[in-house]
Amino acid sequence: MLRAPCDSPLAQYSVEIPSGPLREHDGSLEWGDKIPTGIFYKNELITPYTKRITDKIPNYLENPAAKQRISKNGIPSTDISKLLDSLRV
């Protein structure tokens, strides 16, 4: 358990930070020769994103949305006019 000092003149106590995500956050506050730019926290309790997305969309890794063609010669390949019509007031 890490004991974090209290910097506030109004508080009369310090806070105990349990090990885990909050403890790693304390490391991000350290400054010196190296400036931390973030913390990577691995949650092993959930299935990886690639597994979850391929369970829903089997060919996602071979044909991700970012690489799919959405227009040809400047004309959208999807017709959303019915959707837009349903939103008219």
The 10s digit of each residue's pLDDT in 2-52 is 444 545 555 444 455 555 555 556 666 667 777 766 666 677 888 998 999
Task: Give the confidence band of 86 by pLDDT, cuts at 50, 70, 90.
Answer: very high
Give 81 or 40, the one with higher predicted confidence: 81
Task: Give the confidence band of 70 by pLDDT, cuts at 50, 70, 90.
Answer: confident
Tell me the per-residue pLDDT of 40-63, one tens digit each, with 9 for 90 and over: 667 788 899 899 999 999 999 999
Compute the distance between CA of residue 34 and CA of residue 72 in angstroms, rounded to an integer.
48
Question: How large is the average pLDDT for residues 62-82?
Answer: 88
In 3D space, the residue among 63, 42, 61 whose CA is nearest the CA of residue 51 turns out to be 61
Taking CA atoms, 29 is separated from 14, 17, 24, 37, in Å, by 17, 14, 9, 10
